[in-house]
């Protein structure tokens, strides 16, 4: 009698390739591929596409062209530091599209602009102008020379390439007590 199973009890028609293909398909579905097949939406499905985030950023920062690579980095960092950022950015993108505002000032003047949308606007604009995302110990530097805060004066002032101001490098050095230093201090006073 011919059995469809081999001696180990495994169906004889199953090959190594079909097993590997099944494992690969299961991995794709487990990592979010279900959304591609019309299944349950994943977190990836709830993000603003990179090109749309760039256009949204350009609108929010005044309409001048921005760098796509920086937009990608800002978007990723904002999402990393705020788990609800993607959700807020999607809502903001939809609101901006429906509002038909000519510029950011018109958008901000709308009475139906909610606080969560204002928070998303602030997060995006702050990141682009300051070049950093988050605050304090969690701050992540994304751009220094390309931070938008330098745009208004770029034709007059070179972007500083040194520390962040007085005493930003550490503690103030102690006053020397050697005779020459004491004499120099007394000469300053007179």
Report the half-sphere exposure of 59 (CA within 13 A, side-chain side): 21
Q: Do 73 and 149 belong together in one domain?
A: yes
Kindly state whether residue 54 falls inside one of the protein's structural domains.
Answer: yes
Q: Do 29 and 59 belong together in one domain?
A: no
Is the pLDDT at 104 greater than 90? The verdict is yes
Is the pLDDT at 37 greater than 60? The verdict is no
Q: Which helix (H) or strand (E) holds 12?
A: none
Is the pLDDT at 33 greater than 70? The verdict is no
Q: Do 76 and 116 belong together in one domain?
A: yes
The boundaries of the domain holding residue 107 are: 47-153
Kindly state whether residue 29 falls inside one of the protein's structural domains.
Answer: yes
Q: What CA–CA distance (Å, rounded) separates 94 from 20?
A: 41
Count how many domains the chain has.
2
The arithmetic mean of pLDDT across residues 49-67, rounded, is: 95
Kindly state whether residue 81 falls inside one of the protein's structural domains.
Answer: yes
Torsion of CA 92, 97, 103, 105, to 10 degrees: -40
Q: Which residues touch 15 (CB under 8 Å, ≥6 apart)? A: none
3-state secondary structure of 92: helix
Q: Do 28 and 113 belong together in one domain?
A: no
Question: Sorting pLDDT into bands at 50, 70 and 90, what band is 108?
Answer: very high
Q: Do 51 and 17 belong together in one domain?
A: no
Q: At CA 10, angle to CA 8 and CA 11, rounded to 5?
A: 135
Q: Do 137 and 60 belong together in one domain?
A: yes
3-state secondary structure of 132: strand
Kindly state whether residue 178 falls inside one of the protein's structural domains.
Answer: no
Contact assessment for residue 84 and residue 46, using Cβ atoms and an 8 Å cutoff: no
Q: Do 30 and 93 belong together in one domain?
A: no
Give the number of other CB atoms < 10 A from CB of residue 115.
7
Kindly state whether residue 179 falls inside one of the protein's structural domains.
Answer: no
Q: Do 80 and 114 belong together in one domain?
A: yes
Q: What is the pTM of this model?
A: 0.63
Q: Do 102 and 122 belong together in one domain?
A: yes
Q: Do 141 and 66 belong together in one domain?
A: yes
Q: Which residues touch 63 (CB under 8 Å, ≥6 apart)? A: 103
Kindly state whether residue 190 falls inside one of the protein's structural domains.
Answer: no
């Amino acid at each position: 009698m011919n059995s469809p199973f081999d001696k180990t009890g495994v169906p004889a028609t199953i090959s190594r390739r079909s097993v590997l293909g099944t494992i690969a398909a299961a991995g794709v579905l487990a990592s979010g591929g279900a959304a591609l097949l019309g299944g349950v939406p994943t977190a990836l499905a709830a993000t603003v596409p990179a090109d749309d985030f760039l256009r949204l950023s350009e609108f929010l920062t005044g309409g001048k062209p921005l760098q796509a690579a920086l937009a990608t980095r800002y978007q990723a960092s904002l999402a990393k530091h705020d788990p609800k950022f993607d959700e807020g950015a999607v809502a903001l993108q939809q609101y901006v599209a429906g509002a038909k505002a000519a510029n950011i000032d018109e958008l901000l003047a709308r009475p139906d602009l909610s606080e969560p949308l204002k928070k998303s606007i602030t997060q995006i604009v702050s990141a682009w102008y300051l070049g950093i995302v988050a605050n304090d110990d969690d701050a992540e530097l994304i751009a220094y020379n390309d931070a938008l805060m330098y745009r208004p004066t770029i034709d007059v002032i070179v972007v500083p390439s040194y520390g962040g101001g007085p005493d930003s490098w550490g503690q103030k050095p102690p006053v020397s007590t050697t005779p020459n230093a004491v004499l120099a201090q007394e000469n300053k006073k007179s």
